[in-house]
A and B are shown apart, each in its own frame.
Chain A
C-alpha cells in the first residue's frame, strides 16, 4: 500500500502525488502520495524524522517539492497550523484572530459568532485579551487551530495539533478537528499518537521519508502479514528478539506467515504500524 491508486484521484480533491523533497543531499520525502478527501480526516503518522512535517508543508504550500505534484485549493481556502502554532506571541488572542480575519477578508456577524463558540467551547473565551505568548502550550495550539479554521477552509492542514497537550485540551482539539471535517473540510493532520490516527478515515504511515503503509485503519490492520503473539518477557530466541517490541508492560512478537505462534492476538493499528516498521528495518538489515 503506497497511497491512492491512480484511478482514485478524480474522487480525491487534494493531496500529494509521488512527492519527493531533498534538502541538500538528504532525501526527506521519497515518492510519497497522500489523498485528502472532503469531510474526512487523513492522519499522517511516523516517528521523528519520518517526513510528516515536510509532507504537510508541501501540501499546505509552505514548501515546494523537488518532485511530484501537489493538489491544493487557492490560498484563500487553505487553513494551516505549522509546528509552532503560527500565532503571534505579542498579540492577544483576539488580535491574532482579528489579523487572520483581516488577511482572509472575513467579516460578518456569523463568522464572529462561530469564533465565539469555538473560543467558548475550548476554554479560550476568558483569555481573549491575554497575549498568546502568555498562554499554555495547549491553549496556543487551540488558538492556532481556531485561527486555521477561520476561513472555513476546503483544506485544513494541521501539523501535530495535539502533541504535548493535556488530555482535556486534546479532547477540545479533536472537537475542533471533527467540527471542521463535519463542515466539509478535507483535514490532513500529523500525529505521533496512534490512538488518534485510528480515529481518522485514512492513515499514511511514514518512515525515513518513505511510505510504510497507507489506507483506512482497518485496511492497514488487515494488511499485517503473519501473526502477532503476546509474551510476558523479552524473547530469548535471537531471531524472535529482532521481531519483538514492548507494549503496555508485555512484549509482542511478530511471526511472519508460516511461522507458528502461540497466543496470537488480534492486531490493532499500533501493532500494524510496528510490524510495518519492523519489516522495513529487517528488510534493510538483510539487504
Chain B
C-alpha cells in the first residue's frame, strides 16, 4: 500500500494542473462564492414616472436606487414605465398617477429575488404609513407607495421555474458546447489520429468546422427539447420573438463550442480537458445571475460575471421569453457574445493551425 501511496503522490506532483485544481480552486471558489452567494437584494433598480416623478424619486427609501425619472402625463408615464421594465433597465417602476387616477407600482417578476425584496419593502412601508398617517405627513414617496396599486409583471406568481428554465437552457448548452466538445480534439490527439488529420488534404478550418458541426446540431436539439419541456411541462411563457432568441442562442452556442475546442487544443489528456471545462462551467453557473442575482454579488467579484458568456445568454433568454424584450434593447449582450465568439474561435483556429499545418513545405 505504501508503494501505491508514494506512486500516486509522485504522479500527482507531476500533474501540475490537477494539483492546482485541488489546492487553488477550493480557496478561490470559497472566496468568490463567499462574496457571490447571496440572495439578499439591497439595491432595487427603480424608475419613477408621472407628474412629480422627481419629487417622488428623491423621497424613496435608500434601497430603491433610482435609475431614471420621467415627468409626463399619466398615460405616457405608464407606457414608459412598462417599456423600462421590459427592457431590463429597472426592476420596479413607480407611476405616480396612472390612467385610473391613483399611483401604480409595476414590479418585474422575472427578476425574482429583486421583486420579492421590493414587495417586502412595499409591505413594510404600507404598514409604517398606516401607523403614521394620522400624526404627520408621510411624504409624497411614502404616500405614493401606500396608496399604490401593485402589479407584478411577467411572472405574477413569482415562480422559480420561470426564471430558472431560460437560464438552465444556457447551462445545458454550456455542457454540450464546452464540456463535451472539449473532449473531441484531445481524444484525437490521444488516439494519434490528430497527426493523421494533419497530413491529410484538410484545411484547419475544415477540421475545426467538421468537429463542431455535430456538437452544434446536438446542442440545438437539446435547446429545442429543453424549451419545449419548459413551456409544455413547467408552463414557462415564451412571449418574445423566436428569431431574436434563436440568434442569441446561435451566438451563445458559437462561443461555447469555440471554448470547448480551445480547451481541447490546450489539453494533453481528456482528464485535463474535463478539468478545464468544469473550471469554466462552475463560475458560469454560480456567477452568471442564474442562481444569485447579479446585484447581490459584491462589485469586486461581479466583474467576473460580466466576462462570462452565460451571463449574457441568461439576459437574452429571460428577456425574450418572459418580457418579450426586443433586440433593440438587447444589443449589448448580442454584441458581447459576437465579440467573445470571434475571439474564442480565432484562438481555437490559431491553436488548430499549430498542429494541423505544422510545415509549409509542400
Contacts and interface: CB of A to CB of B under 8 A. Distances in A.
B10 interface: no
Contact of A104 (B198, B201, B359): B201
B358 A86 contact: no
A86 B359 contact: no
Contacts of B100: none
B195 A72 contact: no
B200 A103 contact: yes
A75 B199 contact: yes
Interface string A43-84: 000000000000001101111110001111111101010111
A62 B199 contact: yes
Contact of B362 (A61, A62, A85, A88): A61
Given A74-B201, A75-B201, A103-B202, A64 B192 contact: no
A89 interface: yes
Contacts of B358: 61-64
Contact of A69 (B192, B193, B361): B361
Contacts of A60: 199
* Contact-residue bracket for chain B: 10 to 19
Contact of A88 (B193, B195, B201, B361): B193
A88 B361 CA distance: 27
A87 interface: yes
B359 A80 contact: no
A64 B357 CA distance: 9
Contacts of A73: 362
B11 interface: no
Question: Among the interface residues A58, A70, A84, which one has the most CB atoms of the partner chain B within 10 A?
Answer: A84
Contacts of A65: 359
Given A61-B362, A63-B358, A72-B362, A82 B201 contact: no
A125 B311 CA distance: 54
Interface in B308-343: none
Contacts of A88: 191, 193
A80 B191 contact: no
Interface in B131-180: none
B199 A87 contact: no
A62 B200 contact: no
A64 B353 CA distance: 12
A237 B196 CA distance: 51
A168 B198 CA distance: 31
B196 A82 contact: yes
Nearest to A88: B193
A60 B198 CA distance: 9
A43 to B, nearest CB: 20
Contact of A82 (B192, B359, B361): B192
A88 B191 CA distance: 8
Interface residues of A, number: 28
A61 B192 contact: no
A13 to B, nearest CB: 13
B192 A85 contact: yes
Question: Among the interface residues A58, A61, A63, which one has the most CB atoms of the partner chain B within 10 A?
Answer: A61
B199 A61 contact: yes
Nearest to A71: B361
Nearest to A65: B359
A97 to B, nearest CB: 13
A104 B196 CA distance: 13
A88 B193 CA distance: 7
B191 A84 contact: yes
A259 B198 CA distance: 52
Contacts of B361: 61, 64, 69-72
B202 A82 contact: no
Contacts of A64: 358-361
Contacts of B200: 75, 103-104
Contacts of B360: 64
A275 B202 CA distance: 44
Contacts of A69: 361
A9 to B, nearest CB: 15
A268 B203 CA distance: 46
A76 B201 contact: yes
Interface string B280-301: 0000000000000000000000
Nearest to B359: A64
A70 B196 CA distance: 18
A258 B153 CA distance: 104
Contacts of A104: 200-201
Given A69-B361, A72-B362, A57 B193 contact: no
A63 B360 CA distance: 10
A58 B201 contact: no
A62 B356 CA distance: 7
A35 B193 CA distance: 26
Contacts of A103: 200-202
B195 A82 contact: yes
B116 to A, nearest CB: 50
Nearest to A96: B193
A189 to B, nearest CB: 15
B359 A83 contact: no
Given A82-B195, A88-B191, A61 B359 contact: yes
Closest 10 CB pairs of A and B: A84-B192, A86-B196, A64-B359, A75-B201, A64-B358, A80-B199, A76-B201, A82-B195, A61-B199, A62-B195
22 contacts: A58-B359, A60-B199, A62-B195, A62-B199, A63-B358, A63-B359, A64-B359, A64-B360, A64-B361, A71-B361, A72-B361, A74-B362, A76-B201, A80-B196, A80-B199, A84-B193, A86-B193, A86-B196, A87-B193, A88-B193, A103-B202, A104-B201
